[in-house]
Amino acid sequence: MENRVFNRIQRLVVKIGSSSLTYPTGKLNIEQIEQLVRQLADLHNRGTDVLLVTSGAVGAGVGKLGLPRRPRTIPEKQAAASVGQGMLLHMYEKIFAEYGVVVGQVLLTREDFADRRRFLNARNTLQTMLGYNIIPVINENDTVAVDEIKLGDNDTLSAMVGGLVDADLLVLLSDIDGLYDGNPGTPGAKIISEVREINDQIERLAGGAGTAVGTGGMITKIHAARVAMHSGLVTIIARASEKDIIRRLVAGEPVGTIFWPSVKLVNKKRWIAFGATVCGRIYIDGGAARAIQSNGRSLLPSGITGVDGDFDVGNTVSIFSTDGKEIARGIVNYAAAEVERIKGKKTTDIEHILGYKDFDEVIHRDNMALE
């Protein structure tokens, strides 16, 4: 068994899924919420910074409205979320208050991470809340966000929040014990105790969808773990209903599946890799791919073979190798039409072709994050 002796955890992000907060009826599971909140309050009182990313707004709204099933259309989900979000926050406020802890609601969308200024503003807000000993209760802004509801991806949101505030540990609590080496319902399937690299095999094991109450699944948790690993966070997937699960995980007990961090990206490159909106693709040859991946080089026009999308200067694009795999993302110095004209050419030809040359590189290595 791997050694889970952590250095003292200063900052913790815990994500609780819909299935862990509500019964199949959609009604809130108050007993489970109380036992999870008690553990978080105790860690908070110990001096640990705690951030809670919570799903359940749509599910709680479904229960309150007496709907027989989870809504299928975006407007229906948004209406349910508008009712459920207030219920959810009120529940957290009431229970945390019993332990003398103040909470504050933070609603985020993907745009808050995609726009660099909003990204930094969100970071400053959360840092200030923690400085005032407030536990941020974070959710996607389901009443206005479309893609976020459709994806149901609070797992990824929690990983991005963890990177945003430089957390030490991310805990993803769900209705499953962790990642299994086969279908969890199949006799003989065993839980994978630790993961050090997320490869194709791990992604295949993640499988598909979530429950009728939640919309996520193991695949979104694997994606979240990848984001966290590149942000320097330890990530653990575990079952929310396990007794004292958060306390046990923080103490290093080998429960659930742990994902060990890889090389930590600096804040700007982390934003490029996981926060910024991707506006197009650039395809490169093998030589350019090797130069970027092995030697940390910038992307020059000579290595570019193709362009896809209508991006502008300063946008973020994906860089694809000849085998069709995304190897990096970066901020471009030239617009798509300009890259199309200079692709395959030497840097000395740029001014002759375009009539000007602002940069030698199409993407500088300082503005590039490898996958």
How far is CA 176 from each of CA 12, 70, 116, 199, 284, rounded to the nearest angstrom? 21, 21, 35, 21, 41
Res 156: pLDDT: 87
Longest Cα–Cα distance in the chain: 71
Please report, as a single letter, which amino acid is at residue 177: D
Residue 113: how many CA atoms within 13 Å on its side-chain side?
A: 27
H-run or E-run covering 351: helix 350-354
Strand order in the sheet with 11-16: 102-108, 134-140, 49-54, 11-16, 169-174, 234-239, 257-259, 194-195
Q: Running along the chain, 371 residues long, what does each successive block of 10 average in pLDDT?
A: 75 93 80 96 96 88 81 83 88 96 91 79 94 95 55 78 92 92 82 89 70 58 88 92 95 93 73 81 95 93 95 92 91 94 95 92 91 75
Q: Is 218 annotated as a binding residue?
A: yes
Res 223: pLDDT: 87
Q: Is 175 annotated as a binding residue?
A: yes
In the chain, where are the structural domains located?
A: 11-269, 277-370
DSSP class of 273:
I
CA-to-CA distance for 182 and 278, rounded, in angstroms? 33
H-run or E-run covering 200: helix 200-206
Q: Is 217 annotated as a binding residue?
A: yes
Q: Is 298 annotated as a binding residue?
A: no
- Altogether, the residues listed in the chain come to a count of 371
CA-to-CA distance for 241 and 32, rounded, in angstroms? 7
As given in the structure block, the two tokens for residue 198 are 């997320």
Q: Is 15 annotated as a binding residue?
A: yes
For CA atoms 54, 58, 60, 61, give the dihedral sign: positive
Task: 91-98: list long-range contacts, CB under 8 Å, 24+ apart.
Answer: 91/28, 91/30, 91/33, 92/33, 92/37, 92/52, 92/54, 92/137, 95/33, 95/34, 95/37, 95/38, 96/37, 96/40, 96/41, 96/135
Q: Is 215 annotated as a binding residue?
A: yes
Report the relative pairing of strands 102-108 and 134-140 from DSSP bridges.
parallel
Q: Is 325 annotated as a binding residue?
A: no
Residue 340: how many CA atoms within 13 Å on its side-chain side?
A: 11
- Kindly report the CATH class assigned to 11-269: alpha beta
Res 212: pLDDT: 39
H-run or E-run covering 221: helix 218-230
Quote the pTM value. 0.77
DSSP class of 236:
E
CA-to-CA distance for 182 and 178, rounded, in angstroms? 11
Q: Is 154 annotated as a binding residue?
A: yes
Res 192: pLDDT: 93
Match domain 277-370 to its CATH number in 3.40.50.10070, 1.10.10.10, 2.60.120.10, 2.30.130.10.
2.30.130.10
Query: 54 pairs with which residues across the strands?
Result: 16
Among candidates 42, 40, 270, which has minimal Cα distance to 169? 40
Among candidates 244, 226, 247, which has minimal Cα distance to 179? 226
Q: Is 55 annotated as a binding residue?
A: yes
